Structures are given as structure tokens and as C-alpha cells.
Structure 1
Amino acid sequence: MRITPHAQDTGGFFVALIEKVSETSFDPSAANGPAWKKKKMFKDEPFTFLKLDDERWNDIRNHYGVDESFLYQNLFSRRLESNDANSRQLFYANDAVKNFVKENMSKVSIQNAGMKMFSRTEGKVENTRFRLSQEGIRYLFKFMQKQKVKIGTEDMLFMLKSDENLVPLEKLECKGDVRKQQNGTVVVYCDDDEPVCTWVGYHTIAPYISKEERLHLLRMMGVDCAEIELLMKSKRKEKAAQDREAAWARKEEAAKAAEPSSSSTDAPESAETLEIPEENVQEMTE
């Protein structure tokens, strides 16, 4: 759980530390429940942890220069082992969570665990199949030796405040150091505690973070974000209004399409000319 005390809006979420003070008797069979209930349970995707000398890890380690002390076998995907090689995301869990998941995966329903650390990319620019995720970079950063650049505070503020998704490298003082790295995912940082994942192209750089993450980093750097927050709220309200109008328009179109077409009234047939016998015509003229 991520907590931001400075926001003062945790909304009733709390973290509790539970300490086991004594042993207790527990019947494992009671947790399984009746067989008829187990059949109706939703089948969760399994947790498949990386094995020793996994090919994907060799690719990641060589590209990002990850230290040998990193416990890569704690990385896992949410795919069956037979289809694990095609997984699009890799998550990381510590030893305690890993052991709990492996021991209880077949006994209890585990929806989520760990933090996302790598995502597969199909881009032709990067020299690796996986890019870094902002969610897990704070832990991975200390193990990395490549694809990271220390930049100045002004450059970091410029990127975070920019309205452009792709920031031109020419506008940054750190452009020389960034261009020395391979294209693709590059981690930039002013402080080791707040690294930022970015995507670097030939001429641009783009932070791989959400708007909320941008605000968090700006606050940590002492920036007043009141105007930015108001702008974000106004944009969201404007988008919500546009979505409502579009929904009403679709509803009206559907209603019109469902209405029965009015039957067109047939034009009255032209009156046939009456043929008057010649005898009657003579009588009328006389």
C-alpha cells in the first residue's frame, strides 16, 4: 500500500503490524471447505516464478546491468507455466510473500501480490524485450548499473511540468549524458530515493509516470501544485461532460432507430374517365 501523508487524504486506509505471540492449533483441512464449494470457486491465474538461468532474466540483466545480488527468482508472472514465456508483465515479491504464495496458492484465493517491475515491449527501438515500471523502480534502482542518468533539478522540473508528452532533448542540459545511453527505457534521477522511468527516443524523452505520480514528485521537490491540480480537475470535468453528451447522443440515435417508420399514405388513384354511351350523349344535346 502506498501512503502519502502530505496529501492528508488517506481516506481511512491504515497499515497494521500483526505479531504472532503464541502457537495455535489449526486444522488445515478446515480451510479447504467442502468439495462442492471448491468446484464453484473462481479459478485464479497461477503465480509462476522465474527459474534458475531464465532466458528473460539474462536479457534484462545484461541490458540494465542489474547486480548479481538481485533475487531474480522472486520475479513471477500470472500465466500458466506452459505459457509463461509469453507473459507481458513480471512482478516482484520478497521471500516472505513468495513462500506464502507458493504454500497457499492452491488453498486460498490470492488476487494480487507483489509489485510490477517489468513490462514487455514490442518496440523496435529498444534492445531488450522488457521496459522498466515506475511501480518497482525504487527497489530495483540500487541494483542497476546501466541505463540511468543523474540530471539537474531544473531539467527534472522542466520534464515534470511540461504539457508535452514528448520533451525535446535539445531543451535539457542533460541531453549529452542521456544520448550516451541506449534508446528505450532510461532512469533519470536527482535523488536516489526518487528515480523516474523515462522513454528516450532519437530526439525526445518522455516520463513513464502517471499525472498523480508527477504531482507527488513535484511536491517532494517543494513545488506548489495547487494550480496544476485545478487544471487537472477542470480537464477531467470537461472530459466527463463530453462523455455524457456523447452518451446522450448515442442514446437518442438508438431511440430514433428503434422507432417504427411511419407508413406513407398512398396517393389517391386517378379517377377513371366515365364512358358515356352515344345514345345518352344525343339525348343530352337535343
Structure 2
Amino acid sequence: MNPVQKFMEQLQQGLPSATDEFNREESFLIEMRDGVLLKTSMYFPAGTGPWPVIVIRNPYAAILPILAAAASLWTQYGYAVVLQDCRGTGDSAGNWTPFLNERNDGLDTIQWIMKQSWMNGNIGTYGHSYLSAVQWVMADRLPNEVKAMVLSGFTTERYRQHYMNGMFRHDVYTGWAIENSGVKNISTEGLFQQAVHIRPHIEMDEQIFGQKLAWYRDWITNVSPVDDYWSAGFWSDLKEIPKNIHTPILMIDGWFDQHLDGMVRDYHKLPEETRRRSRFFIGPWLPLDK
């Protein structure tokens, strides 16, 4: 059984019989506020709508077949699905800098959807890992049309994720940086072992990719939680977002996932009324099992 088949089998467990059928896929280039065009695919049920809409924003080319299969399935239950390549990834224009543009790009995409005749006034957001990050960063600014969010495997407590007992998590974030450097046409096979042996490590990016990854250098050189990089600006603001969320959230994580501690903290940051309408499921999963 290939990964797509396995995912679809798990996704369909416990679902009732489908009530609709997948009709068509259409692709658009949606313009962001700064003029950058993002590749966006729409999956529609049969008929003319309008429908509730599921929004997924994704930077990972490798999981596109899984997301496309899931989108087709959801159309069979009466949902339209919007699947967008994050800025600088896939077929979207712009430069890839992790996290930097996701708040504005996500909110611009939501506003575009709200203007479409096939949207019935109900939007939900969905995704795991970075696909959850793109939800967190805009969660305090969502319009009333966004009725729910599904978040798994990501926390707003970023210093706690990048560092454990004062040590940078090379096992997670050096590997992630290599796989998501934004450098085109390079094989990443064997690069992690090469990267962790480069001294001084700050030169890893230039030796492997021929260019500096400024965001990765920020991660490895700001070693204290009181450094301005973590305690002020973007990352500090991100930690405060859960306190101002009014959209119900389904949060999911595993006992063996490195994000669990931070996600528990995020859940308790939610306003009492939001938390009352939200749920947090924790199960016996590794990060990729979910």
C-alpha cells in the first residue's frame, strides 16, 4: 500500500457514506497585497454550490498527492477545498522565507475566498506541522466566516521547540532546514550527516547550498530565550496569538511529538470561551503518524 492509499484508508475510517461526488479541479493565481501571485487549486463537488470551504496552505511538494486525494474525498461530503502553495514554493511566485509572509498571505487568501460566489459563508482551515503554522499566525485576525480550525503538530512556543535544555535541535531543525532550504534542483540525500559535521556549523549553508540561509543562521545563533530574536518581534508576537483567538480549534498531537509541551501551553492560553468550544486530542503517535 503506497502512502497515499494508506492515508486515505485512515482518513475514511468512521466516515458515513459520501453524499456528493468530486466534480472538477481548477487552478488560479491569487494576487497577494504586494502583487505576488500564489498558485491555488480548487476542488469542487458536483453542482453549482455554494459550499462550505476547507483551506489548506502548504509548502511541501512531496505531500501534494496526499493533499489532493484528501481534497477529492472531502468534495464527496459537500465541501469545496482550496489548496495553495505557500509563497516561494511549488508553483507560487515570490521568495521562500519560512513563516515571514504566512500571516498576510493567509489573510489575503481568506478574503479572496469570501468574495467567491461558490462559498456559502462557512470556512474551515486544516493542516499538520507547517500547515498548522500558517493557521496559527493569522488565527487572531480571522473573520467570522472562519468557523473552525484543525491544528496538529505545531506550537507557537518556538524557542522551546528549537532548543532543548539549551541545545539546538539539530535532529529536527537542521534536517528541516536542509529539506526546505528553498534552493532549487538539489538532492538532499545524505546532506544531514554532512551538515552536522561541518565546522564552524554556521558555514553549513554556504558549503552545502552555496548561499546563506539567514533564517537558519538566526535560529542557531540566538541561543537564549531572552535574545531579542525570540523575546521581541515576530516570535514573541506569535506566542501571544492564542490569547486572542475566538475561532473554535480542534488541536491534535501525540505523546511522542516534540511539539506537545508547547501545544498544551497554547491550549491553556486560549480564552475560556474559545477553549470551551475547542478540543485537544492527544494520542500514542509519533509526529508523522498523525
TM-score (structure 2 length as normaliser): 0.24
If asked which structure has higher relative contact order (CA below 8 Å, sep 6+), I would say 2
Superposition TM-score, scaled by structure 1 size: 0.25
Instruction: Give the structure with higher Rg (CA).
Output: 1
Higher strand proportion: 2
